[in-house]
Amino acid sequence: MDNDCLFCRIVAGEIPATVVHETETTLAFRDIDPKAPVHVLVIPKDHHPDVVTLANDDPAAAAGLLAAAAAVAETEGLLMDGFRLLFNTGGYAGQEVFHVHAHVLGGEPLGPMLAPR
Ligand code: AMP
């Protein structure tokens, strides 16, 4: 655990979150500032700053994270209409929290993949 990491503190139960799915190695909870009717963050319980370090350092955990995201999409009822799975990674992507997290977004048409520039 990284004591300075917001999502590690959620895993530790020090900061509340609305948990929707949990496995031995992953936690999924609702985004505090949802960008869609369904907006869930799926994280590994172990600290990895981003998806690149996760994939390189612990491929099994990366696979577990994808499986958890798929389970969340199913339990949130997103499989029929579709959904978006997103990993912001680094500065150009606007990553704000450096504990890898998959955004599961859905519940309505999501529009273009990127905002018009
Ligand atoms: P990113 O920009 O990909 O790093 O996304 C970080 C996400 O974390 C944003 O969508 C925030 O709204 C969300 N977030 C920040 N703090 C919390 C929190 N305490 N509980 C749930 N979601 C949070």
Span 94-115, pLDDT tens digits: 999 999 999 999 999 999 999 8
What residue spans of 12-114 are helical by DSSP H?
Answer: 51-57, 59-75
Residue 114: what pLDDT? 92
- pLDDT recorded at residue 116: 85
pLDDT in tens, 77-90: 999 999 999 999 99
Q: How many residues does the chain have?
A: 117
Q: Which of 21, 39, 101, 103 is catalytic?
A: 101
48 in catalytic set: no
CA distances from 75 to 68, 70, 78 (A): 10, 9, 8
User: Ligand 1 in contact with 33 (CB < 6 A)?
Assistant: yes
